[in-house]
């Protein structure tokens, strides 16, 4: 269902509340990856150009007690945002009260204010995370309209997304619109043929995704640690490779049901220890020794997956093909990333998380149609679940 977006509103002179996702990785008070700030810029710039007064909300990390606050302030985000916009940002180091209310009143058209980390409200009773109705109503009272551009939290029912939306006219920002179009499009109305590539460590993390994608995709290619549970279901020796014993029966059921719709690796890279210095051997998946661990797909599997991708109109990828944080076991993930990036006539979508980080770090960020900013949110969307943050946005 089409949602209202920020361009559907008259913004001049309005106080526009914006839920962004500035949950950026930090180390020693420094931002180590500003991708989420960059992704929020188009919506912010548009509202500035239209003469709106912007009040930004975001969470950062998990604030469980008073002592967590100092290390999880949004002040570094305010500084980074100010630099990227080329204008001063008003940062209010509070989540409610007279100082915040006055700062909002003092905004002129085109001004931007950032409210302190919404999770500060979790110290006393988890008011943000449990969508305290009084808090959502209070934040809503600060503005005229609400733009939700934080897909990364769309699977959560928090005061700063669903709570505000319950009290104000709510539309999607450009990033949220893009996520609904691409991730939602895979689930609701994909351009066929569809090929899904799933990796990562655990079958249990992706049960709902695999099950739902088997109803949508023409082929589901499975790599990464989760594939060895499927091999176990086929009765193969998997050595010391990752295994979820309690998911072997589920994997067998899926294989029996899906037939050749599921494509598994044909070779893998094995080693005796979890180390970049370990001696690596490439073997068939039928020849994994009992005393070694498979840690990446092999070159024949990369070629097989490339063949399966040919002719696809929609490709969705979620999860690495091996232990990609160790360079010697990253070649499978790199190979799959390159294969998808080379598909110029397909909608190519990465469903957030580690695969998104891999594509960006490998320099392929611009070669995909869409890289989701939501890990958990994109997974739940691909499962076919309704996301509270999306549901709360007004329909056209």
Secondary structure letter of residue 356 according to DSSP: H
Distance, in Å, from the CA atom of 68 to the CA atom of 81, rounded to the nearest integer, reads 23
Active-site residue 163, yes or no? no
Question: 246: annotated binding-site residue?
Answer: no
Indicate which residue of 110, 184, 208, 376 is catalytic.
376
Question: 68: annotated binding-site residue?
Answer: no
Q: Look up tokens 């891999």; give the residue.
A: 358
Q: Which SS3 state, helix, strand or coil, does residue 341 take?
A: helix
CA distances from 161 to 19, 133, 261 (A): 7, 12, 38
Question: 325: annotated binding-site residue?
Answer: yes
Question: 96: annotated binding-site residue?
Answer: no
Q: Which two tokens stand for residue 381?
A: 């969307």
Indicate which residue of 353, 374, 375, 389 is catalytic.
353
Question: 124: annotated binding-site residue?
Answer: no
Strands 53-57 and 15-19 turn out to be parallel
Helix axes of 331-341 and 353-361: crossing angle, nearest 10 degrees: 80
Question: 105: annotated binding-site residue?
Answer: no
| 155 and 95 Cβ atoms separated by less than 8 Å | no
Active-site residue 353, yes or no? yes
Q: How many residues does the chain have?
A: 396
Q: Look up tokens 């700030």; give the residue.
A: 37
Could you report how far apart the first and last alpha carbons of the chain are, in Å? 8
Question: 218: annotated binding-site residue?
Answer: no
Indicate which residue of 202, 252, 300, 385 is catalytic.
202
Question: 12: annotated binding-site residue?
Answer: no
Nearest to 209 by CA among 383, 387, 352: 383
Question: 361: annotated binding-site residue?
Answer: no
Distance, in Å, from the CA atom of 214 to the CA atom of 198, rounded to the nearest integer, reads 12
Q: Look up tokens 């695999």; give the residue.
A: 210
Question: 214: annotated binding-site residue?
Answer: no
Secondary structure letter of residue 367 according to DSSP: G
CA distances from 46 to 11, 106, 211 (A): 10, 21, 39
Distance, in Å, from the CA atom of 114 to the CA atom of 77, rounded to the nearest integer, reads 9
Active-site residue 202, yes or no? yes
Indicate which residue of 3, 36, 127, 219 is catalytic.
36
Question: 206: annotated binding-site residue?
Answer: yes
Q: Which SS3 state, helix, strand or coil, does residue 327 take?
A: helix
Active-site residue 36, yes or no? yes
Tell the burial category of 128 from Cβ atoms under 10 Å away from its Cβ (0-12, 13-18, 19+): buried
Question: 156: annotated binding-site residue?
Answer: yes
Q: Which residues are annotated as a binding site for substrate?
A: 21-23, 36, 59-62, 119, 156
Query: Could you give the residue numbers annotated as active site?
Result: 36, 202, 353, 376
Q: Which residues are annotated as a binding site for (2R)-3-phosphoglycerate?
A: 36, 119, 156
Q: Which residues are annotated as a binding site for ATP?
A: 206, 325, 352-355
Q: Which residues are annotated as a binding site?
A: 21-23, 36, 59-62, 119, 156, 206, 325, 352-355
């Amino acid at each position: 269902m089409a949602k209202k977006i920020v361009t559907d509103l008259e913004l001049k002179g309005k106080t526009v509340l914006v839920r962004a996702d500035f949950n950026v990785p930090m180390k020693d008070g420094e931002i180590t990856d500003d991708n989420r700030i960059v992704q929020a810029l188009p919506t912010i710039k548009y509202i500035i150009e239209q003469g709106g007064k912007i009040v930004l909300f975001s969470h950062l990390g998990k604030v469980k007690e008073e002592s967590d606050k100092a290390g999880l302030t949004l002040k570094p985000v305010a500084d980074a945002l100010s630099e990227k916009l080329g204008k001063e940002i008003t940062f209010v180091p509070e989540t409610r009260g007279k100082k915040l209310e006055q700062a909002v009143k003092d905004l002129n058209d085109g001004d931007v204010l950032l409210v302190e980390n919404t999770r500060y409200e979790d110290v006393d009773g988890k008011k943000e995370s449990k969508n305290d109705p009084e808090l959502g109503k209070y934040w809503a009272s600060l503005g005229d309209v609400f733009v939700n551009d934080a897909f990364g939290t769309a699977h959560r029912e928090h005061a700063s997304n669903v709570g505000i939306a319950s009290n104000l006219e709510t539309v999607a920002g450009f990033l949220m619109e893009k996520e609904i179009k691409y991730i939602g499009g895979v689930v609701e109305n994909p351009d066929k043929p569809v090929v899904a590539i799933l990796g990562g460590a655990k079958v249990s993390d992706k049960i709902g995704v695999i099950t739902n994608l088997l109803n949508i995709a023409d082929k589901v290619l499975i790599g990464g640690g989760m594939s060895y549970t499927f091999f176990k279901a086929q009765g193969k020796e998997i050595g010391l490779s990752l295994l979820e014993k309690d998911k072997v029966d589920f994997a067998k059921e899926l294989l029996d049901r899906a037939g050749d719709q599921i494509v598994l690796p044909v070779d893998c890279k094995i080693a005796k220890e979890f180390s970049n210095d370990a001696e690596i051997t490439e073997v068939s998946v039928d020849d994994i020794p009992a005393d070694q661990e498979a840690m990446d797909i092999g070159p024949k599997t990369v070629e097989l997956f490339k063949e399966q991708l040919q002719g696809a109109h929609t490709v969705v990828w979620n999860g690495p093909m091996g232990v990609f944080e160790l360079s010697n076991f990253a070649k499978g993930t790199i190979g799959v990333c390159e294969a998808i990036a080379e598909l110029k006539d397909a909608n190519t979508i990465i469903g957030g998380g580690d695969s998104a980080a891999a594509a960006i770090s490998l320099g392929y960020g611009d070669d995909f149609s869409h890289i989701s900013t939501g890990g958990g949110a994109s997974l739940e969307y691909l499962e076919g679940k309704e996301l509270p943050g999306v549901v709360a946005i007004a329909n056209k």
